Chain A
Amino acid sequence: MNVAVCLKQVPGTTKVQIDPQTNTLIRQGIENIINPFDTYALEEGVRIKERYGGKVTVISMGPPQAEEALREAISLGADEAILLSDNAFAGADTWATSYTLAWAIGKRGQYDLVICGRQTIDGDTGQVGPELAEMLGIPFVAYISQIEETSNKRMRVKRMVEDGYEIIETPLPAVVSVVKEINVPRLPSLRGLVKAKSAVILVWTAEELGVDKNMVGLSGSFTRVIKVFFPQRVRRGEILRGELASQVDSLIDRLRDTKLI
């Protein structure tokens, strides 16, 4: 089975400051990591390869430094890495990101399965997986916690839902997004680290990808970030007075007003 894993390099902390001028994250001096959810996607891809043979390709869209994340992915078992990097890709929303990734996956050829993490820890939208499937015109299953069975043509997966799980069978090729319960990602191996150091990372620009520049990056995005801010947290207490019965009544009214009951 040939598997494509989409991954993103993200800041390795939740304490990132926001630049008030540009409304973007201040990334200077912050260590970058592979988006933690994507590490589960990569691990699952590598396990599928180990069980059924084939190849794992990791694909990332990002600045040149995202190459580090792809090298790390190779030390963890990926066979091939593609970095989509071009100024034209900058400022992409989830739609433009999915579009670019879909184009790269289509250009690279036949994949039996595309695996994404459930969401990134910086953008947190969880939209790229489903958008990607839509653009590739193949099925999508979100939040899978176990791959139960795989054959050439179909795959049965366990998918987490709020109050339990569902067993879903999907034809392949398909896109899935994984939750952290699916596996425990391995540590790199020494041989993998040696291999990663000298591995060739394919870097594709918009031109090499052959994509319309108006469809990618900021110009291909339907959404604009107007403002990024920390929501103000307001805590308010109120003491109810009077007869006990009327206190209970007014408490119930308030709970109803706030739709808590």
Chain B
Amino acid sequence: MEYFLTEQQKTIKGLARRIAEERILPVRAELDETEEFPWGVIKDLADSDMFRVFIPEEYEGLGGGCFELCLVIEELSRVCSGIAVSYAASALGPLTLLEYGTEAQKQKYLPDIASGKKLTAFALTEATAGSDASAIRTTAERVGGGYVLNGTKQFITNGGEAELYTVIVLTDKTRGARGASAFLVEKDTPGFSFGKKERKMGIRASSTRELIFRNCLVPEENMIGKPGMGFIMTMKLLDRSRPGIGAQAVGLAQGALEAAVDYTRQRIQFGQPLISLPVVQDILADMAIRVEAARALVYAAARTIDSGAKSFTEESAMAKVFASDTAMKVTTDAVQVCGGAGYMRDYPVEKMMRDAKITQIYEGSNQVLRNAIAFELRKRKARRE
């Protein structure tokens, strides 16, 4: 399908594919097994300017937007979405700064993020607050010279590995979601430590950890945006980042489709390659249709965001839901057509199936996002649009 990429977008996509095939492919199975953080690949991504893609030129970036970010995530995920998510998660931090940070904050942090010197993480989820993000309990109490943070964040991607953490906490416990604020916390801040590293079903090369704050003093200038705006900012940011998860799902599904085609061309049963059997062709064709449809939707949502649209909750939710459901279906079918071999760890498709599941869960579960889409439908009807 022709998506009319610019020369620069083609260059970005091409280089991301090269990194995936030359640097990620040789290590993906091992990292999945050992659950080690892919520092080698992160360095390659940094050296190749991949962290510059989504940062404006005035902060030493390349000036791309959501669409360029999606192209990179898709290509990396085609080979290993476990490694891709460490990259993708690193986009949320700078996005917060770009949208709501002060000029001083941008100058201070963005160039190091662009060069890949500092990896970032975004911390919202807590034991009591998953889909109900407003139920967070971590607090920030105002003292002389800043705020003191107390509480524990859970399931934080890049936890323990990132240098910079965007943390959503309550600055006013009495106001619930309207009392939430965002802070930038540096790794070595006293009172900030890391809890257990989670053992996951998929995306095992990524790091998922608890962040523990015990009387952690954060200077006032590290607050991002205004006090009380933390929750609203987060919801808007997630609208902006969600197509990235869609792109992750598309890449994953694309990788599974290619693996399935390769295998069914080589596997001989009943005296012919599996791909000659109509029943297999049927499955492969449906896989291909779904992948392409998901890609088109993700690209369209990303381009909507980059066009400067004001509200895109619906579009980005649709892209994420459809692409992640596609990834789950397509990777499951890939395991099916690869049969017993596909179920074995010697082949890549079982890992892809394990990796796919999380895309339906994180950055807004597909159920919560369907709610959001339905809510927008009702709103629009009420406005008689």
In the complex, chain A residues 82-133 whose Cβ is within 8 Å of any chain B Cβ = none
Main secondary structure of the interface of A (DSSP, over half): helix
Beta-carbon contact of A190 and B19 below 8 Å: no
Contact A190 B47 (CB under 8 A): no
Is A193 part of the contact surface with B, judged by Cβ < 8 Å?
Answer: yes
Does B62 count as interface, using CB distance less than 8 angstroms? Answer: yes
Distance between A105 CB and nearest chain B CB, rounded to angstroms: 29
Chain A CB within 8 A of B52 CB: yes
Q: How far is the CA of A40 from the CA of B49 in the complex (A)?
A: 21
Q: Is the C-beta of A23 less than 8 angstroms from some C-beta in chain B? A: no
B23 adjacent to A187 (CB under 8 Å): yes
CB distance from B330 to the nearest CB of A (A): 29
- Measured CB to CB, the nearest residue on chain A to B16 is A190
Q: How far is the CA of A254 from the CA of B44 in the complex (A)?
A: 55
Give the contacts of A151-205 with B (CB-CB under 8 A). 186-194
Measured between alpha carbons, how far is A188 from B50 in the docked complex, in Å? 11
Given contacts A190-B62, A191-B49, 4 further A-B contacts (CB under 8 A): A187-B22, A188-B48, A190-B48, A194-B11
Within the complex, the shortest CB–CB distance from B196 to chain A, in Å, comes to 34
- Complex CA gap A245/B125 in Å reads 82
The answer to whether A190 touches B53, judged by C-beta atoms less than 8 angstroms apart, is yes
| A189 lies within 8 A of B18 (CB) | no
**Cβ of B19: which chain A residues have Cβ within 8 Å of it?**
187
Q: How many whole Å from A47's CB to the nearest CB in chain B?
A: 12
The closest CB in chain A to the CB of B62 belongs to A190
CA separation between A210 and B274, bound complex, in Å? 65
Number of A-B contacts (CB under 8 A): 32
B11 lies within 8 A of A193 (CB): yes
B12 within 8 A of A: yes
Residues of chain A contacted by B18 (CB below 8 angstroms): 187
Which residues of A lie under 8 Å from residue B52 when comparing CB positions? 190-191
Question: Does B15 make an interface contact (CB < 8 A)?
Answer: yes
Q: Is B15 a contact of A193 with CB atoms below 8 Å?
A: yes
Contact A187 B47 (CB under 8 A): yes
Count of chain A residues near B, Cβ 8 A: 9
Which chain A positions have C-beta within 8 A of B48?
Answer: 187-190
**B155-178 interface with A by 8 A CB criterion:** none
Contacting residues, chain B, for A188 (C-beta < 8 A) = 15, 48
Once bound together, how far apart are the Cα atoms of A189 and B44, in whole Å? 9
**B residues 6-28 touching A (CB-CB < 8 Å):** 8, 11-12, 15, 18-19, 22-23
Number of interface residues of B (CB under 8 A): 16
What is the interface of chain B, defined by CB distance below 8 A to chain A? 8, 11-12, 15, 18-19, 22-23, 44, 47-50, 52-53, 62
Q: Which residues of A contact B53 (CB under 8 A)?
A: 190
Are A189 and B62 neighbours in the complex by a CB distance under 8 Å? Answer: no
Distance (whole angstroms) from the CB of A33 to the closest CB of chain B: 13
Measured between alpha carbons, how far is A188 from B22 in the docked complex, in Å?
12
CB B54 to nearest CB in A, in angstroms, measures: 12
Chain A residues closer than 8 Å to B23, beta-carbon distance? 187
Say whether A190 contacts B49, CB under 8 Å: yes
**Complex CA–CA separation, A186 to B22 (angstroms):** 11
Whether B22 contacts A190 by the Cβ 8 Å rule is no
B313 to A: closest C-beta gap in Å: 31
Most buried by A among B22, B48, B52: B48
Kindly list chain A residues whose C-beta atoms are within 8 Å of the C-beta of B22: 187
List the B side residues contacting A186 at CB < 8 Å: 44, 47
10 A-B residue pairings within 8 Å (CB atoms): A189-B49, A190-B11, A190-B12, A190-B48, A190-B49, A190-B50, A190-B53, A191-B52, A191-B62, A194-B11
Select from chain B the residue with minimum beta-carbon distance to A193: B11
Minimal Cβ-Cβ distance residue in A for B23: A187
CB neighbours (8 Å) of A190 from chain B are: 11-12, 15, 48-50, 52-53, 62
What chain B residues lie within 8 Å of A191 (beta carbons)?
49, 52, 62
Give A193 to B18 CA distance when docked, in angstroms: 13
- A187 and B40 alpha carbons, distance in the complex (Å): 13
Inside 8 A of A193's CB, which chain B residues have their CB? 11, 15
Minimum Cβ distance to chain B for residue A70 (Å): 18
Q: Name B49's closest neighbour in chain A (CB-CB).
A: A190
Q: Would you give the shortest CB distance from B91 to chain A, in whole angstroms?
A: 16
Is A187 in contact with B15, judged by CB distance below 8 angstroms? yes
Name the residue on B nearest A186 (C-beta): B47
Question: In the assembled complex, how far is the CB of residue A49 from the closest CB belonging to chain B, in whole angstroms?
Answer: 15
Indicate if the CB atoms of B47 and A189 lie closer than 8 Å: yes
